[in-house]
Amino acid sequence: MTYAPVLPMGGYAGWTLLNRTMAKQTASFVKSPEIKRDEDYFKANIGKVTTAEQLVKDRRLLKVALGAFGLDADINNRAFIEKVLKDGTLTAGALSNKLADKQYLKFSAAFGFGDFATPRTKLSDFPDQIITLYRARQFEAAVGNQDGDLRLALNAQRELGTLATKTGSEQTRWLGILGNSALKQMFIKALGLPASVGAIDLDQQLQLFQDKADQVFGDKSISQFTDPTKVDALIRRFLVRAQVDANTGQNGSGAAVLAMLQQTNSFIRSNRS
């Protein structure tokens, strides 16, 4: 990736600056030669693809297809990806329904090879739908090359509101968090949970995440994150804690947290005036 986002600082202050310049930076990003080549090729050729096998054989198409769902690392796992696509999403035995990472489920559903007689690649607006997702994910990746914590924050900003409005029970929504490795990582840090929490029984994890969310936000539901201010509060806690962890040992954890919060609050006040 040749484009390098402008990130003069990290933490919550860096997050605030990134959001302020987001429109300008993403506009520059989508004009970069590599992104434009990827998009032009995808638009010109995806409509010719009618099977999962055809897609995985074309590396340039597959790059965009996987990149739109944050699955870039699977570019060489052709047999696995073909199976995910061929199985579709409509049966309990489909591979995408068995995998913990639900991005595979979204990926398979988006293309529809295993779900419909005519895949969604034949829809006139399909290329633009995938390219919109691809742009967002690749910009996040470009940010992540410089600051992994800001990449996780961007992912949460994009994903959390949708997940919070998803139909079903609160347990189903929490399982959506636990099945999304990036969101789960953010919640673990923001809620002050140990990294080892993923090793315990899933029912115990659910209870622990809900209890901690209730302590921190006064609400144990995921639906609370339909409110953008709650999403921002989560991101702020995550970024402050991540920055403190990076500086652990300098002042002691309690003093470091206090200092970081004071710096963040000072930055926010100065930018509101």
Give 222-237 pLDDT, tens digit per residue: 999 999 999 999 999 9
Q: How confident is the model at residue 198 (pLDDT cuts 50, 70, 90)?
A: confident
Q: Are 61 and 46 in contact (CB under 8 A)?
A: yes
Does position 204 have pLDDT exceeding 90, yes or no? yes
Does position 3 have pLDDT exceeding 80, yes or no? no
The region of weakest confidence among 21-25, 74-78, 179-183, 212-216 is 179-183
Verify that 42 and 125 share a domain, yes or no: yes
The parent domain of residue 79 ranges over 32-135
Q: Classify residue 149: in a domain, yes or no.
A: no
Measuring CA to CA, which residue among 213, 145, 156, 218 is closest to residue 183? 156
Boundary residue ending a domain (91, 113, 135)? 135
- Please give the full DSSP string across 32-60, using - where no structure is assigned: SHHHHHHHHHHHHHGGG--SHHHHHH-HH
Task: Find the radius of gyration of the CA atoms of the chain.
Answer: 20
Q: Classify residue 9: in a domain, yes or no.
A: no
Verify that 126 and 222 share a domain, yes or no: no
Q: Classify residue 158: in a domain, yes or no.
A: no
Boundary residue ending a domain (91, 111, 135)? 135
Mean pLDDT of 12-31: 94
Instruction: Tell the burial category of 131 from Cβ atoms under 10 Å away from its Cβ (0-12, 13-18, 19+).
Output: buried
Q: Classify residue 3: in a domain, yes or no.
A: no
Q: How confident is the model at residue 140 (pLDDT cuts 50, 70, 90)?
A: very high
Verify that 97 and 184 share a domain, yes or no: no
Verify that 121 and 185 share a domain, yes or no: no
Verify that 180 and 260 share a domain, yes or no: yes
Any idea what the Cα angle at residue 7 is, between residues 60 and 272, rounded to 5°?
A: 130
Structural domain total, the chain? 2
Mean pLDDT of 240-249: 83
Does position 263 have pLDDT exceeding 70, yes or no? no
Q: Classify residue 122: in a domain, yes or no.
A: yes
The Cβ of residue 203 has, within 10 Å, a number of other Cβ atoms equal to: 9
Q: Classify residue 147: in a domain, yes or no.
A: no
Verify that 185 and 108 share a domain, yes or no: no
Verify that 251 and 191 share a domain, yes or no: yes
Verify that 244 and 186 share a domain, yes or no: yes
Q: Classify residue 5: in a domain, yes or no.
A: no
Give 61-72 pLDDT, tens digit per residue: 999 999 999 999
Mean pLDDT of 98-110: 93
Helix, strand, coil percentages in the chain from 3-state DSSP, rounded to 5 = 75, 0, 25
Verify that 172 and 267 share a domain, yes or no: yes
CATH of residue 103: 1.10.3700.10
Give 105-137 pLDDT, tens digit per residue: 999 999 999 999 999 999 999 999 999 999 999
The region of weakest confidence among 10-24, 200-214, 236-250 is 236-250
Q: Classify residue 18: in a domain, yes or no.
A: no
Q: How confident is the model at residue 2 (pLDDT cuts 50, 70, 90)?
A: low
